[in-house]
Chain A
Protein backbone atom coordinates (compact mmCIF):
# COMPACT_ATOMS: atom_id res chain seq x y z
CA UNK A 1 0.00 0.00 0.00
CA UNK A 2 1.23 3.47 -0.85
CA UNK A 3 1.74 5.49 2.31
CA UNK A 4 1.09 8.95 0.75
CA UNK A 5 -1.06 11.16 2.94
CA UNK A 6 -0.48 9.01 6.00
CA UNK A 7 0.77 10.78 9.13
CA UNK A 8 3.17 9.03 11.46
CA UNK A 9 2.18 9.12 15.14
CA UNK A 10 4.99 6.81 16.15
CA UNK A 11 6.95 4.00 14.49
CA UNK A 12 4.06 1.55 14.85
CA UNK A 13 1.03 3.82 14.57
CA UNK A 14 -0.02 5.87 11.55
CA UNK A 15 -3.04 8.07 10.94
CA UNK A 16 -5.07 9.06 7.89
CA UNK A 17 -6.75 12.40 8.64
CA UNK A 18 -10.52 12.74 8.37
CA UNK A 19 -10.14 15.15 5.44
CA UNK A 20 -8.60 12.37 3.33
CA UNK A 21 -12.01 11.47 1.89
CA UNK A 22 -15.32 13.35 1.85
CA UNK A 23 -17.71 12.13 4.51
CA UNK A 24 -15.16 10.57 6.86
CA UNK A 25 -16.53 11.06 10.36
CA UNK A 26 -13.28 10.19 12.13
CA UNK A 27 -9.62 9.70 11.16
CA UNK A 28 -8.37 6.20 10.34
CA UNK A 29 -5.50 4.54 12.17
CA UNK A 30 -3.11 1.80 11.15
CA UNK A 31 -1.19 -0.11 13.82
CA UNK A 32 1.81 -1.36 11.86
CA UNK A 33 5.41 -0.67 10.93
CA UNK A 34 6.01 1.22 7.70
CA UNK A 35 7.26 -2.05 6.19
CA UNK A 36 4.03 -3.86 7.08
CA UNK A 37 2.01 -0.96 5.69
CA UNK A 38 3.92 -1.15 2.43
CA UNK A 39 3.13 -4.88 2.25
CA UNK A 40 -0.61 -4.22 2.67
CA UNK A 41 -2.61 -4.12 -0.57
CA UNK A 42 -3.88 -0.73 -1.75
CA UNK A 43 -7.51 -1.65 -1.13
CA UNK A 44 -6.84 -1.61 2.64
CA UNK A 45 -6.56 2.18 2.57
CA UNK A 46 -9.75 2.53 0.56
CA UNK A 47 -11.68 0.12 2.76
CA UNK A 48 -10.39 1.54 6.02
CA UNK A 49 -11.35 5.08 5.05
CA UNK A 50 -14.78 3.77 3.95
CA UNK A 51 -15.25 2.36 7.47
CA UNK A 52 -14.70 5.89 8.78
CA UNK A 53 -17.87 6.92 6.88
CA UNK A 54 -20.15 4.72 9.00
CA UNK A 55 -22.66 6.58 11.18
CA UNK A 56 -21.92 6.49 14.90
CA UNK A 57 -18.25 5.50 14.60
CA UNK A 58 -16.27 6.49 17.69
CA UNK A 59 -12.73 7.95 17.68
CA UNK A 60 -11.08 6.10 14.75
CA UNK A 61 -11.51 3.44 12.10
CA UNK A 62 -8.66 1.08 12.92
CA UNK A 63 -6.71 -1.65 11.19
CA UNK A 64 -4.39 -4.15 12.87
CA UNK A 65 -0.83 -5.02 11.76
CA UNK A 66 -1.99 -8.14 9.88
CA UNK A 67 -4.45 -6.06 7.83
CA UNK A 68 -5.29 -6.97 4.27
CA UNK A 69 -8.22 -6.21 2.03
CA UNK A 70 -11.56 -7.83 2.77
CA UNK A 71 -15.18 -7.10 1.87
CA UNK A 72 -16.48 -3.81 3.17
CA UNK A 73 -14.11 -3.67 6.13
CA UNK A 74 -10.49 -4.65 5.65
CA UNK A 75 -9.51 -7.86 7.42
CA UNK A 76 -7.96 -6.69 10.67
CA UNK A 77 -10.55 -3.90 10.91
CA UNK A 78 -11.89 -2.55 14.19
CA UNK A 79 -14.70 -0.01 14.52
CA UNK A 80 -16.60 0.92 17.67
CA UNK A 81 -20.08 2.38 17.25
CA UNK A 82 -22.27 4.39 19.53
CA UNK A 83 -25.22 2.00 19.81
CA UNK A 84 -27.66 4.89 20.25
CA UNK A 85 -26.74 6.75 17.06
CA UNK A 86 -24.66 4.23 15.15
CA UNK A 87 -25.05 1.26 12.86
CA UNK A 88 -24.26 -2.42 12.82
CA UNK A 89 -22.70 -3.75 9.60
CA UNK A 90 -22.32 -7.43 8.66
CA UNK A 91 -19.32 -6.26 6.60
CA UNK A 92 -17.61 -5.37 9.88
CA UNK A 93 -17.99 -8.91 11.17
CA UNK A 94 -17.43 -11.11 8.16
CA UNK A 95 -19.19 -14.08 6.62
CA UNK A 96 -17.65 -16.58 9.04
CA UNK A 97 -19.20 -15.15 12.19
CA UNK A 98 -17.07 -16.00 15.25
CA UNK A 99 -14.31 -17.54 13.29
CA UNK A 100 -11.91 -18.00 16.16
CA UNK A 101 -9.11 -19.88 17.84
CA UNK A 102 -9.06 -22.24 20.80
CA UNK A 103 -5.94 -23.43 22.60
CA UNK A 104 -5.72 -26.49 24.78
CA UNK A 105 -2.71 -27.26 26.97
CA UNK A 106 -1.40 -30.75 27.70
CA UNK A 107 1.19 -31.83 30.25
CA UNK A 108 2.96 -33.85 27.54
CA UNK A 109 6.36 -32.91 26.17
CA UNK A 110 7.54 -33.03 22.58
CA UNK A 111 9.77 -36.00 23.46
CA UNK A 112 6.74 -37.91 24.74
CA UNK A 113 4.57 -37.07 21.73
CA UNK A 114 7.20 -37.51 19.00
CA UNK A 115 7.15 -41.34 18.81
CA UNK A 116 3.34 -41.31 18.47
CA UNK A 117 3.00 -38.16 16.38
CA UNK A 118 1.95 -39.84 13.12
CA UNK A 119 -0.58 -42.08 14.86
CA UNK A 120 -1.92 -39.06 16.75
CA UNK A 121 -2.33 -36.89 13.66
CA UNK A 122 -3.91 -39.78 11.76
CA UNK A 123 -6.35 -40.45 14.63
CA UNK A 124 -7.27 -36.75 14.79
CA UNK A 125 -7.78 -36.71 11.03
CA UNK A 126 -10.05 -39.77 11.33
CA UNK A 127 -12.11 -38.36 14.20
CA UNK A 128 -12.45 -34.63 13.44
CA UNK A 129 -14.49 -34.09 10.27
CA UNK A 130 -12.60 -31.90 7.77
CA UNK A 131 -13.19 -30.57 4.28
CA UNK A 132 -16.23 -29.95 2.10
CA UNK A 133 -19.36 -31.99 2.65
CA UNK A 134 -18.06 -33.68 5.79
CA UNK A 135 -20.77 -34.28 8.36
CA UNK A 136 -20.29 -32.90 11.85
CA UNK A 137 -19.83 -34.95 15.01
CA UNK A 138 -23.27 -33.85 16.24
CA UNK A 139 -26.49 -33.57 14.23
CA UNK A 140 -29.49 -31.81 15.71
CA UNK A 141 -33.16 -31.55 14.84
CA UNK A 142 -34.78 -28.13 14.86
CA UNK A 143 -35.74 -27.80 18.55
CA UNK A 144 -32.39 -29.02 19.77
CA UNK A 145 -30.55 -26.87 17.23
CA UNK A 146 -32.42 -23.79 18.47
CA UNK A 147 -31.49 -24.70 22.02
CA UNK A 148 -27.86 -25.16 20.97
CA UNK A 149 -27.64 -21.79 19.17
CA UNK A 150 -29.10 -20.12 22.25
CA UNK A 151 -26.65 -21.73 24.66
CA UNK A 152 -23.43 -22.13 22.66
CA UNK A 153 -20.67 -24.03 24.43
CA UNK A 154 -22.93 -24.32 27.49
CA UNK A 155 -25.19 -26.61 25.44
CA UNK A 156 -22.18 -28.82 24.72
CA UNK A 157 -21.21 -29.03 28.39
CA UNK A 158 -24.81 -29.76 29.44
CA UNK A 159 -24.89 -32.57 26.92
CA UNK A 160 -21.69 -34.29 27.94
CA UNK A 161 -19.14 -32.56 25.68
CA UNK A 162 -16.74 -31.09 28.19
CA UNK A 163 -16.60 -29.72 31.71
CA UNK A 164 -18.43 -26.85 33.37
CA UNK A 165 -15.03 -25.27 34.07
CA UNK A 166 -14.32 -25.06 30.31
CA UNK A 167 -16.89 -22.26 30.08
CA UNK A 168 -14.74 -19.93 32.20
CA UNK A 169 -12.08 -20.08 29.52
CA UNK A 170 -14.18 -19.04 26.55
CA UNK A 171 -14.94 -15.41 25.69
CA UNK A 172 -18.36 -14.52 27.12
CA UNK A 173 -18.44 -17.87 28.92
CA UNK A 174 -19.09 -19.53 25.55
CA UNK A 175 -22.62 -18.15 25.39
CA UNK A 176 -23.85 -14.80 24.05
CA UNK A 177 -26.93 -13.71 25.94
CA UNK A 178 -28.74 -11.84 23.16
CA UNK A 179 -29.12 -14.81 20.84
CA UNK A 180 -32.58 -15.29 19.41
CA UNK A 181 -33.28 -18.27 17.12
CA UNK A 182 -36.40 -16.47 15.85
CA UNK A 183 -34.04 -14.11 13.98
CA UNK A 184 -32.35 -17.04 12.18
CA UNK A 185 -33.67 -18.24 8.80
CA UNK A 186 -34.60 -21.84 8.15
CA UNK A 187 -31.97 -21.81 5.42
CA UNK A 188 -29.26 -21.08 8.00
CA UNK A 189 -30.56 -23.97 10.11
CA UNK A 190 -30.50 -26.26 7.07
CA UNK A 191 -26.91 -25.33 6.32
CA UNK A 192 -25.78 -25.66 9.92
CA UNK A 193 -27.61 -28.66 11.29
CA UNK A 194 -25.13 -31.24 9.99
CA UNK A 195 -21.96 -29.21 10.52
CA UNK A 196 -21.70 -29.02 14.32
CA UNK A 197 -18.32 -30.37 15.32
CA UNK A 198 -16.55 -30.03 11.99
CA UNK A 199 -13.43 -28.11 11.08
CA UNK A 200 -14.39 -26.87 7.61
CA UNK A 201 -11.82 -25.93 4.98
CA UNK A 202 -9.80 -22.99 3.67
CA UNK A 203 -7.48 -21.66 6.37
CA UNK A 204 -9.10 -23.70 9.14
CA UNK A 205 -7.00 -26.29 10.90
CA UNK A 206 -6.29 -28.27 14.01
CA UNK A 207 -2.66 -28.17 14.99
CA UNK A 208 -0.37 -29.83 17.52
CA UNK A 209 2.22 -27.30 18.64
CA UNK A 210 5.21 -27.05 20.94
CA UNK A 211 6.41 -24.28 23.26
CA UNK A 212 10.06 -24.75 22.32
CA UNK A 213 13.05 -23.61 24.28
CA UNK A 214 13.72 -19.95 23.61
CA UNK A 215 10.11 -19.29 22.60
CA UNK A 216 8.73 -18.56 26.06
CA UNK A 217 9.06 -14.78 26.34
CA UNK A 218 7.27 -14.19 29.65
CA UNK A 219 7.60 -17.16 31.96
CA UNK A 220 5.27 -15.84 34.66
CA UNK A 221 2.41 -15.15 32.26
CA UNK A 222 3.05 -18.43 30.46
CA UNK A 223 2.65 -20.38 33.71
CA UNK A 224 -0.58 -18.55 34.48
CA UNK A 225 -1.81 -19.48 31.02
CA UNK A 226 -0.87 -23.14 31.58
CA UNK A 227 2.46 -23.36 29.75
CA UNK A 228 4.73 -24.63 32.51
CA UNK A 229 7.82 -25.83 30.74
CA UNK A 230 9.87 -25.82 27.59
CA UNK A 231 8.89 -28.51 25.12
CA UNK A 232 5.28 -28.58 26.35
CA UNK A 233 2.73 -29.71 23.75
CA UNK A 234 -0.51 -27.79 23.08
CA UNK A 235 -3.38 -28.14 20.61
CA UNK A 236 -4.83 -25.23 18.62
CA UNK A 237 -8.17 -25.27 16.78
CA UNK A 238 -9.01 -22.60 14.18
CA UNK A 239 -12.60 -22.80 12.95
CA UNK A 240 -15.87 -20.86 12.92
CA UNK A 241 -19.62 -21.06 12.51
CA UNK A 242 -19.45 -22.98 9.21
CA UNK A 243 -22.33 -22.62 6.72
CA UNK A 244 -24.65 -21.48 9.50
CA UNK A 245 -22.82 -18.18 10.03
CA UNK A 246 -22.27 -17.69 6.31
CA UNK A 247 -25.99 -18.03 5.62
CA UNK A 248 -26.89 -15.53 8.37
CA UNK A 249 -24.40 -13.06 6.91
CA UNK A 250 -25.78 -13.61 3.38
CA UNK A 251 -29.41 -13.28 4.53
CA UNK A 252 -28.86 -10.01 6.37
CA UNK A 253 -26.51 -8.48 3.83
CA UNK A 254 -29.39 -8.66 1.35
CA UNK A 255 -31.93 -7.45 3.85
CA UNK A 256 -29.79 -4.47 4.94
CA UNK A 257 -29.26 -3.47 1.30
CA UNK A 258 -32.99 -3.37 0.73
CA UNK A 259 -33.72 -1.10 3.72
CA UNK A 260 -30.64 1.04 4.28
CA UNK A 261 -31.47 3.61 1.60
CA UNK A 262 -35.28 3.58 1.38
CA UNK A 263 -36.00 3.15 5.09
CA UNK A 264 -33.03 4.71 6.87
CA UNK A 265 -31.60 7.13 4.31
CA UNK A 266 -28.14 5.56 4.58
CA UNK A 267 -25.76 5.32 1.65
CA UNK A 268 -22.31 3.69 1.54
CA UNK A 269 -19.85 3.50 -1.37
CA UNK A 270 -19.51 -0.29 -1.09
CA UNK A 271 -22.44 -2.73 -0.94
CA UNK A 272 -20.46 -4.90 1.46
CA UNK A 273 -20.74 -2.03 3.94
CA UNK A 274 -24.52 -2.48 4.06
CA UNK A 275 -25.66 -1.42 7.50
CA UNK A 276 -28.69 -0.55 9.60
CA UNK A 277 -29.09 1.49 12.78
CA UNK A 278 -28.22 -0.78 15.70
CA UNK A 279 -31.54 -0.09 17.40
CA UNK A 280 -33.63 -0.53 14.24
CA UNK A 281 -35.76 -3.64 13.77
CA UNK A 282 -33.35 -5.02 11.15
CA UNK A 283 -30.26 -4.09 13.17
CA UNK A 284 -31.57 -5.88 16.23
CA UNK A 285 -32.64 -8.96 14.27
CA UNK A 286 -29.19 -9.25 12.71
CA UNK A 287 -27.52 -8.72 16.10
CA UNK A 288 -29.60 -11.52 17.61
CA UNK A 289 -29.00 -13.85 14.67
CA UNK A 290 -25.28 -13.03 14.72
CA UNK A 291 -25.17 -13.95 18.41
CA UNK A 292 -26.71 -17.33 17.50
CA UNK A 293 -23.83 -17.78 15.03
CA UNK A 294 -21.28 -16.75 17.67
CA UNK A 295 -22.78 -19.41 19.93
CA UNK A 296 -22.76 -21.95 17.10
CA UNK A 297 -19.02 -21.41 16.63
CA UNK A 298 -18.31 -21.71 20.38
CA UNK A 299 -20.29 -24.95 20.33
CA UNK A 300 -18.45 -26.18 17.24
CA UNK A 301 -15.02 -25.65 18.78
CA UNK A 302 -16.16 -27.17 22.11
CA UNK A 303 -17.41 -30.35 20.39
CA UNK A 304 -14.16 -30.66 18.43
CA UNK A 305 -12.10 -30.21 21.60
CA UNK A 306 -14.05 -33.05 23.15
CA UNK A 307 -13.07 -35.21 20.17
CA UNK A 308 -9.43 -34.17 20.57
CA UNK A 309 -9.48 -35.24 24.23
CA UNK A 310 -10.83 -38.67 23.26
CA UNK A 311 -8.11 -39.10 20.65
CA UNK A 312 -5.33 -38.14 23.08
CA UNK A 313 -6.78 -40.58 25.64
CA UNK A 314 -6.89 -43.39 23.09
CA UNK A 315 -3.36 -42.81 21.82
CA UNK A 316 -1.64 -42.24 25.17
CA UNK A 317 -3.85 -44.70 27.15
CA UNK A 318 -4.49 -42.16 29.89
CA UNK A 319 -7.46 -40.04 30.94
CA UNK A 320 -7.67 -36.40 29.75
CA UNK A 321 -6.98 -35.34 33.37
CA UNK A 322 -3.85 -37.49 33.56
CA UNK A 323 -2.68 -35.92 30.30
CA UNK A 324 -3.27 -32.43 31.71
CA UNK A 325 -5.69 -31.55 28.89
CA UNK A 326 -7.07 -28.16 29.79
CA UNK A 327 -8.65 -25.34 27.84
CA UNK A 328 -6.35 -22.29 27.93
CA UNK A 329 -8.78 -19.96 26.15
CA UNK A 330 -11.11 -19.58 23.20
CA UNK A 331 -11.12 -16.28 21.30
CA UNK A 332 -13.32 -14.86 18.55
CA UNK A 333 -11.98 -12.81 15.66
CA UNK A 334 -15.14 -12.03 13.63
CA UNK A 335 -17.76 -10.41 15.86
CA UNK A 336 -19.53 -7.27 16.98
CA UNK A 337 -20.00 -7.12 20.74
CA UNK A 338 -21.44 -4.68 23.22
CA UNK A 339 -18.59 -3.87 25.60
CA UNK A 340 -17.92 -1.29 28.28
CA UNK A 341 -15.02 1.05 27.48
CA UNK A 342 -13.85 4.46 28.60
CA UNK A 343 -14.74 6.90 25.84
CA UNK A 344 -13.40 10.43 26.35
CA UNK A 345 -13.16 9.81 30.09
CA UNK A 346 -16.65 8.36 30.41
CA UNK A 347 -17.55 4.71 30.84
CA UNK A 348 -19.85 3.72 28.00
CA UNK A 349 -21.36 0.63 26.41
CA UNK A 350 -20.32 0.58 22.79
CA UNK A 351 -20.65 -1.84 19.88
CA UNK A 352 -17.16 -3.02 18.88
CA UNK A 353 -16.91 -4.57 15.41
CA UNK A 354 -13.82 -6.75 15.03
CA UNK A 355 -13.27 -8.37 11.66
CA UNK A 356 -10.12 -10.44 11.59
CA UNK A 357 -9.18 -8.80 14.88
CA UNK A 358 -9.09 -10.27 18.37
CA UNK A 359 -10.37 -8.85 21.64
CA UNK A 360 -7.39 -8.13 23.92
CA UNK A 361 -8.67 -7.23 27.38
CA UNK A 362 -6.02 -5.87 29.78
CA UNK A 363 -5.42 -6.98 33.38
CA UNK A 364 -8.33 -6.14 35.67
CA UNK A 365 -10.95 -5.91 32.93
CA UNK A 366 -14.42 -7.19 33.74
CA UNK A 367 -15.26 -10.33 31.78
CA UNK A 368 -11.96 -12.13 32.42
CA UNK A 369 -11.97 -15.33 34.51
CA UNK A 370 -10.32 -15.01 37.96
CA UNK A 371 -7.26 -16.96 36.78
CA UNK A 372 -6.54 -14.27 34.17
CA UNK A 373 -7.72 -11.21 36.09
CA UNK A 374 -4.14 -10.16 36.85
CA UNK A 375 -2.51 -11.32 33.62
CA UNK A 376 -4.84 -9.86 31.03
CA UNK A 377 -6.67 -11.92 28.45
CA UNK A 378 -4.84 -14.75 26.72
CA UNK A 379 -4.93 -14.00 22.98
CA UNK A 380 -4.44 -16.68 20.37
CA UNK A 381 -2.90 -15.84 17.03
CA UNK A 382 -2.84 -18.50 14.36
CA UNK A 383 0.14 -18.02 12.10
CA UNK A 384 0.77 -20.01 8.97
CA UNK A 385 1.04 -23.78 9.36
CA UNK A 386 4.78 -23.65 8.66
CA UNK A 387 5.95 -20.75 10.76
CA UNK A 388 4.09 -20.88 14.05
CA UNK A 389 1.44 -19.23 16.18
CA UNK A 390 1.45 -17.03 19.26
CA UNK A 391 -0.04 -16.82 22.71
CA UNK A 392 -0.24 -13.15 23.72
CA UNK A 393 -1.66 -11.18 26.64
CA UNK A 394 -3.82 -8.04 26.61
CA UNK A 395 -2.28 -4.74 27.80
CA UNK A 396 -3.66 -1.57 29.37
CA UNK A 397 -2.08 0.47 26.57
CA UNK A 398 -4.50 -1.05 24.05
CA UNK A 399 -7.35 1.24 25.16
CA UNK A 400 -7.17 3.43 22.03
CA UNK A 401 -7.80 0.34 19.90
CA UNK A 402 -10.76 -0.67 22.11
CA UNK A 403 -8.53 -3.45 23.43
CA UNK A 404 -8.06 -5.25 20.13
CA UNK A 405 -5.14 -6.90 18.44
CA UNK A 406 -4.30 -8.88 15.31
CA UNK A 407 -5.73 -12.32 14.46
CA UNK A 408 -3.14 -13.99 12.26
CA UNK A 409 -0.24 -13.14 10.08
CA UNK A 410 -2.18 -11.90 7.03
CA UNK A 411 -1.68 -13.03 3.47
CA UNK A 412 0.89 -11.50 1.15
CA UNK A 413 -0.01 -13.73 -1.76
CA UNK A 414 -3.39 -14.65 -3.26
CA UNK A 415 -4.53 -18.26 -3.12
CA UNK A 416 -4.16 -18.51 -6.89
CA UNK A 417 -0.58 -17.20 -6.79
CA UNK A 418 0.28 -19.60 -3.96
CA UNK A 419 -0.98 -22.57 -5.98
CA UNK A 420 1.22 -21.52 -8.90
CA UNK A 421 4.28 -21.45 -6.66
CA UNK A 422 3.65 -24.34 -4.26
CA UNK A 423 2.63 -27.93 -4.88
CA UNK A 424 0.56 -29.48 -2.08
CA UNK A 425 2.23 -32.90 -2.08
CA UNK A 426 5.74 -31.44 -2.25
CA UNK A 427 4.83 -29.05 0.55
CA UNK A 428 3.58 -31.92 2.69
CA UNK A 429 6.90 -33.74 2.14
CA UNK A 430 8.94 -30.61 2.80
CA UNK A 431 7.02 -29.95 6.00
CA UNK A 432 7.58 -33.51 7.18
CA UNK A 433 11.31 -32.99 6.67
CA UNK A 434 10.98 -29.92 8.90
CA UNK A 435 9.29 -32.06 11.57
CA UNK A 436 5.69 -31.07 10.80
CA UNK A 437 3.38 -33.96 9.95
CA UNK A 438 0.35 -32.69 8.04
CA UNK A 439 -2.73 -34.48 6.71
CA UNK A 440 -5.23 -32.72 4.46
CA UNK A 441 -8.40 -33.42 2.56
CA UNK A 442 -7.21 -31.11 -0.27
CA UNK A 443 -3.64 -30.83 -1.55
CA UNK A 444 -4.30 -27.66 -3.59
CA UNK A 445 -5.90 -26.27 -0.41
CA UNK A 446 -2.67 -27.13 1.43
CA UNK A 447 -0.58 -25.29 -1.18
CA UNK A 448 -2.70 -22.16 -0.68
CA UNK A 449 -1.77 -22.14 2.99
CA UNK A 450 2.01 -22.41 2.50
CA UNK A 451 4.05 -20.35 4.94
CA UNK A 452 5.42 -18.21 2.10
CA UNK A 453 1.88 -17.00 1.25
CA UNK A 454 1.72 -15.18 4.58
CA UNK A 455 3.44 -12.20 6.17
CA UNK A 456 6.17 -12.88 8.69
CA UNK A 457 4.15 -13.58 11.84
CA UNK A 458 7.04 -12.51 14.12
CA UNK A 459 7.00 -9.07 12.55
CA UNK A 460 3.23 -8.78 12.96
CA UNK A 461 3.49 -9.72 16.64
CA UNK A 462 6.36 -7.26 17.15
CA UNK A 463 4.12 -4.55 15.71
CA UNK A 464 1.31 -5.41 18.14
CA UNK A 465 3.79 -5.17 21.03
CA UNK A 466 5.34 -1.92 19.87
CA UNK A 467 1.87 -0.54 19.19
CA UNK A 468 0.92 -1.36 22.80
CA UNK A 469 -1.88 -3.73 21.75
CA UNK A 470 -0.65 -7.03 23.18
CA UNK A 471 2.37 -8.68 24.69
CA UNK A 472 4.07 -11.82 23.37
CA UNK A 473 4.01 -14.65 25.92
CA UNK A 474 4.86 -17.82 23.99
CA UNK A 475 5.52 -18.66 20.36
CA UNK A 476 4.11 -22.07 19.47
CA UNK A 477 5.62 -24.01 16.59
CA UNK A 478 3.70 -26.71 14.73
CA UNK A 479 4.59 -30.41 14.74
CA UNK A 480 1.34 -31.86 13.45
CA UNK A 481 -1.58 -30.44 11.51
CA UNK A 482 -4.89 -31.53 10.04
CA UNK A 483 -6.45 -29.31 7.41
CA UNK A 484 -9.76 -29.24 5.66
Chain B
Protein backbone atom coordinates (compact mmCIF):
# COMPACT_ATOMS: atom_id res chain seq x y z
CA UNK B 1 0.00 0.00 0.00
CA UNK B 2 1.57 3.30 -1.01
CA UNK B 3 1.99 6.34 1.19
CA UNK B 4 -0.06 9.44 0.61
CA UNK B 5 1.33 12.99 0.90
CA UNK B 6 -0.89 15.37 2.86
CA UNK B 7 -0.42 18.87 1.64
CA UNK B 8 -2.18 20.97 4.24
CA UNK B 9 -0.38 19.72 7.36
CA UNK B 10 3.03 21.23 6.77
CA UNK B 11 4.14 24.07 4.56
CA UNK B 12 7.86 23.84 5.27
CA UNK B 13 8.21 20.07 5.61
CA UNK B 14 6.47 16.87 4.48
CA UNK B 15 3.43 15.10 5.93
CA UNK B 16 2.44 11.59 4.88
CA UNK B 17 -0.20 8.98 5.71
CA UNK B 18 0.10 5.20 5.50
CA UNK B 19 -2.31 2.36 6.14
CA UNK B 20 -1.98 -1.27 7.16
CA UNK B 21 -4.11 -4.31 7.96
CA UNK B 22 -2.02 -4.93 11.08
CA UNK B 23 0.24 -2.89 13.33
CA UNK B 24 3.28 -4.63 11.88
CA UNK B 25 2.21 -3.68 8.39
CA UNK B 26 1.56 -0.09 9.46
CA UNK B 27 5.07 0.24 10.88
CA UNK B 28 6.56 -1.39 7.82
CA UNK B 29 4.66 0.96 5.50
CA UNK B 30 5.97 3.94 7.51
CA UNK B 31 9.54 2.75 6.98
CA UNK B 32 8.90 2.28 3.26
CA UNK B 33 7.41 5.77 3.06
CA UNK B 34 10.61 7.25 4.50
CA UNK B 35 12.80 5.76 1.77
CA UNK B 36 10.19 6.41 -0.94
CA UNK B 37 10.07 10.09 0.00
CA UNK B 38 13.86 10.34 0.09
CA UNK B 39 14.81 8.36 -3.00
CA UNK B 40 13.94 8.52 -6.69
CA UNK B 41 13.82 4.73 -6.83
CA UNK B 42 13.49 2.96 -3.47
CA UNK B 43 13.55 -0.38 -5.29
CA UNK B 44 17.34 -0.23 -5.51
CA UNK B 45 18.09 -0.91 -1.84
CA UNK B 46 19.99 -4.19 -1.60
CA UNK B 47 19.58 -6.24 1.58
CA UNK B 48 23.31 -6.50 2.37
CA UNK B 49 23.27 -5.54 6.04
CA UNK B 50 20.95 -6.59 8.84
CA UNK B 51 20.22 -4.30 11.78
CA UNK B 52 18.14 -5.19 14.82
CA UNK B 53 16.00 -2.39 16.15
CA UNK B 54 14.27 -2.42 19.52
CA UNK B 55 11.98 0.28 20.88
CA UNK B 56 9.82 0.73 23.95
CA UNK B 57 7.24 3.44 24.42
CA UNK B 58 4.23 4.31 26.53
CA UNK B 59 1.84 4.55 23.59
CA UNK B 60 1.66 3.57 19.94
CA UNK B 61 2.33 7.07 18.65
CA UNK B 62 5.56 7.39 20.59
CA UNK B 63 6.49 3.87 19.49
CA UNK B 64 5.98 4.94 15.86
CA UNK B 65 8.06 8.08 16.49
CA UNK B 66 10.84 6.01 18.08
CA UNK B 67 10.86 3.41 15.35
CA UNK B 68 11.04 5.86 12.45
CA UNK B 69 13.60 7.97 14.37
CA UNK B 70 15.81 4.85 14.56
CA UNK B 71 15.78 4.57 10.77
CA UNK B 72 16.74 8.25 10.45
CA UNK B 73 19.54 7.66 12.95
CA UNK B 74 21.04 4.77 10.94
CA UNK B 75 20.76 6.79 7.73
CA UNK B 76 23.03 9.49 9.20
CA UNK B 77 25.28 7.54 11.57
CA UNK B 78 26.08 4.56 9.36
CA UNK B 79 24.75 5.90 6.06
CA UNK B 80 22.37 2.93 5.92
CA UNK B 81 19.11 2.80 4.01
CA UNK B 82 16.94 0.20 5.73
CA UNK B 83 13.65 -1.59 5.16
CA UNK B 84 12.01 -3.85 7.74
CA UNK B 85 12.05 -7.59 7.12
CA UNK B 86 10.16 -8.55 10.27
CA UNK B 87 8.41 -6.49 12.90
CA UNK B 88 7.01 -7.79 16.18
CA UNK B 89 4.97 -5.46 18.33
CA UNK B 90 3.69 -6.50 21.73
CA UNK B 91 1.88 -4.80 24.55
CA UNK B 92 3.88 -4.65 27.75
CA UNK B 93 3.23 -3.51 31.31
CA UNK B 94 4.46 -0.01 30.57
CA UNK B 95 3.10 0.35 27.03
CA UNK B 96 4.45 -1.27 23.89
CA UNK B 97 7.60 -3.00 22.71
CA UNK B 98 8.87 -3.37 19.17
CA UNK B 99 11.51 -5.68 17.78
CA UNK B 100 12.45 -5.33 14.15
CA UNK B 101 14.95 -6.90 11.83
CA UNK B 102 15.72 -4.44 9.08
CA UNK B 103 17.84 -4.99 6.01
CA UNK B 104 19.50 -2.61 3.65
CA UNK B 105 22.78 -1.18 2.47
CA UNK B 106 25.08 1.79 2.65
CA UNK B 107 24.17 4.83 0.56
CA UNK B 108 25.73 4.48 -2.88
CA UNK B 109 25.48 7.80 -4.68
CA UNK B 110 25.81 6.00 -8.01
CA UNK B 111 22.52 4.17 -7.47
CA UNK B 112 20.72 6.06 -4.72
CA UNK B 113 19.55 9.34 -6.10
CA UNK B 114 18.07 11.48 -3.34
CA UNK B 115 15.08 13.74 -3.77
CA UNK B 116 15.20 15.04 -0.21
CA UNK B 117 16.75 14.19 3.16
CA UNK B 118 14.55 13.33 6.12
CA UNK B 119 16.34 14.83 9.10
CA UNK B 120 13.88 14.13 11.91
CA UNK B 121 10.51 12.60 12.70
CA UNK B 122 8.25 15.07 14.47
CA UNK B 123 5.35 14.68 16.87
CA UNK B 124 3.41 17.30 14.94
CA UNK B 125 -0.03 15.83 14.13
CA UNK B 126 1.44 12.37 14.68
CA UNK B 127 -1.37 9.84 14.95
CA UNK B 128 -1.74 6.07 14.95
CA UNK B 129 -5.39 5.01 14.74
CA UNK B 130 -7.43 1.90 14.11
CA UNK B 131 -10.76 2.20 12.33
CA UNK B 132 -12.66 -0.97 11.55
CA UNK B 133 -9.86 -3.30 10.52
CA UNK B 134 -7.48 -0.71 9.14
CA UNK B 135 -4.63 0.98 10.94
CA UNK B 136 -3.67 4.49 9.80
CA UNK B 137 -0.61 6.53 10.72
CA UNK B 138 -0.04 10.21 9.96
CA UNK B 139 3.47 11.57 10.26
CA UNK B 140 5.17 14.92 9.60
CA UNK B 141 8.88 14.66 8.86
CA UNK B 142 11.46 17.44 9.07
CA UNK B 143 13.38 17.84 5.80
Contacts and interface: CB of A to CB of B under 8 A. Distances in A.
Given A69-B11, A195-B76, A250-B69, A441 B114 contact: yes
Nearest to A443: B115
A193 B107 CA distance: 17
B116 A202 contact: yes
Given A243-B76, A411-B11, A414-B7, A71 B114 contact: no
Contact of A201 (B5, B75, B79, B114): B114
Closest 10 CB pairs of A and B: A243-B76, A190-B77, A133-B107, A271-B123, A71-B124, A132-B117, A201-B117, A191-B76, A444-B115, A95-B120
Contacts of A411: 11-12
A2 B68 CA distance: 35
Contacts of A271: 123, 126
Contacts of B77: 187, 190-191, 243
B134 interface: no
Contacts of B116: 201-202, 415, 442, 444-445, 448
Interface in B24-66: 38, 58, 62, 65-66
A142 interface: no
Given A71-B140, A191-B73, A246-B119, A132 B114 contact: yes
Interface string A255-275: 001100000000000111010
Q: Tell which of A72, A246, A272 has the most Cβ of chain B within 10 Å.
A: A246
Interface string A405-421: 00000011111110000
A107 interface: no
Interface of A: 41, 68-72, 75, 95-96, 131-133, 187, 190-191, 195, 200-202, 242-243, 246-247, 249-250, 253-254, 257-258, 270-272, 274, 411-417, 441-442, 444-445, 448, 484
Nearest to A412: B11
B5 A247 contact: no
Contact of A416 (B5, B58, B73, B117): B5
Contacts of A75: 12
Given A69-B11, A243-B77, A246-B142, A96 B119 contact: yes
Contact of B123 (A68, A247, A253, A258): A253
B11 A95 contact: no
A398 to B, nearest CB: 25
Contacts of B142: 71, 95-96, 246
Given A132-B75, A202-B119, 20 more contacts: A68-B12, A69-B10, A72-B124, A96-B142, A133-B79, A133-B112, A133-B114, A195-B76, A201-B114, A202-B143, A243-B76, A246-B120, A247-B73, A253-B123, A257-B123, A270-B124, A412-B11, A414-B12, A417-B7, A445-B116
A372 to B, nearest CB: 31
Contacts of A254: 62, 65-66
B70 to A, nearest CB: 9
A199 to B, nearest CB: 11
B7 to A, nearest CB: 5
B126 A243 contact: no
A68 B11 contact: yes
A442 B114 contact: yes
Contacts of A415: 12-14, 116, 143
B71 interface: no
B119 A95 contact: yes
A388 B11 CA distance: 21
Nearest to A484: B117
